[in-house]
Structures are given as structure tokens and as C-alpha cells.
Homo-oligomer: A and B are copies of this chain.
Amino acid sequence: MLEKVLVAEDHQNSSKAVTKIIEELAIPLCHYVYYCDDAFTRLKNELNSGRPYDLLVTDISFIEDHRTQQLKSGVELIIAAREIQPQLKVIIFSGEDRTAKIQSYFKDLKVDGYVQKGRTDAIELEKAVEAVAKGQVYMPPGIREKINPSHSHQFTNYDVTVLSLLAEGKKLQEIPDLLVKLNISPSGKSSMEKRLNHIKTVLDFNKNEQLIAFCKDMGII
């Protein structure tokens, strides 16, 4: 059972509402903070004093203000927190709606839940907390299907690098040199072309412009 929860959320309105939901779920202790650094300090202190938090509920984007922060986003906070307390449960509470981003939170950050801010966030957050309390992973409705539809392509690191270079205005023929310098393989022009062609075939695209637009929409680059 979850007994001690920390909420990191800079959105004045949301944080109180989140806390209220947590309290209604009969969780004894719930604190909230506005800054990532404060969150990390708390996690560390409570861990050291032998009474660690069970769950972290955090936003992703924290608007910058006068206070300079070490940790500038929820992603950095999660990574830092998991370093000192690997078994900490994490639920992300964010407005992000780009599938690729959400997917990467589960895949790369191994978070336990994701709730998208919106009309039904209160209900969903409740479900997410309950699921996580049972040791389950909570995904928003529809995401599981979107993550692997038939016409889809798993973008690798290599793909992202090449596409980013393209989006920066690099010519196809100068990219091989850049890849060599970055120590990325395969670096040959043909291999790169082949890869790009493969992606475009799978997604049924015919031009690089279209692919770039798609990646921007999905948040891949």
C-alpha cells in the first residue's frame, strides 16, 4: 500500500487538486512542492532518514522563473530520483499528448503511470494511483493501441539523428561525413538512403518533407 506521496507540480491550480485526490484515497501522507529541486531534496532527505516516499507524482514541464534550478524538467527529476531510490513508483501528470513522448516515458523512464491533463484527469489520476498501489502500470486509454499500430515504425536513435540533421537543413550528401565525426554507424550515404526509404515505405510516405512533418507532430524530433 502507498503511504507517503510526493507531488511535484508548478501549476498552482493543479497541485492542490492533485493533493486533494491523493488524500481522498486514504493515503496518510501527501506533500507537494513547486520545483524539481525541492522535490529531489525532499526525496533524498526522507530516504536518508529511513522514511522514504512510496510514490512521486510529477509534471513534465516546469516553467522557468527567477529561481535557477538544477533539475529543469520532470524527466530529469525522475532520472535523479530513480538513481537514489530505484524502486520509487512514479506517475507522470502532464499535458503532453504526443504519442511518441508518452511512449518513451514508459519505455525509457519506466514510469508506472501516465495521466494526461484534461477533462477527466481527476478520475484518471485516481485510477492510476490505485493501479500503481497494486503494483500495476497505468496507461491512458487508447495509448496502448496507438503505440503499435500496423503502419508504424520504431524509430531508432540512428533514425532520430539522421532526421534531426535533415531538419537542421543538412544536405543528404554531407550527412555521411557528419556521421563519421559523430562516430555513428552506418555512415555510408547508401545505407542512410536505404534506411530513409525503408521508413518512408513502411509509413507510406513519399518525401522527406512529409517524414519530417510527421516526426515533428509525433514529437520524435
Contact = CB atoms under 8 A, between A and B. Distances in A.
A152 B220 CA distance: 26
| Range, interface on chain A | 35 or more
A71 to B, nearest CB: 15
A10 B212 CA distance: 32
Interface stretch (A78-86, A119-127, A130-138): A119-127
A98 to B, nearest CB: 11
Copy number in the complex reads: 2
B167 A12 contact: no
A14 interface: yes
A209 B119 contact: no
Query: Taking each of A11, A65, A221, which has the highest tally of chain B beta carbons within 10 Å of its own beta carbon?
Result: A11
Contact of A169 (B34, B120, B171, B207): B207
Given A212-B212, A213-B212, A171 B207 contact: yes
Given A95-B95, A217-B216, A121 B209 contact: no
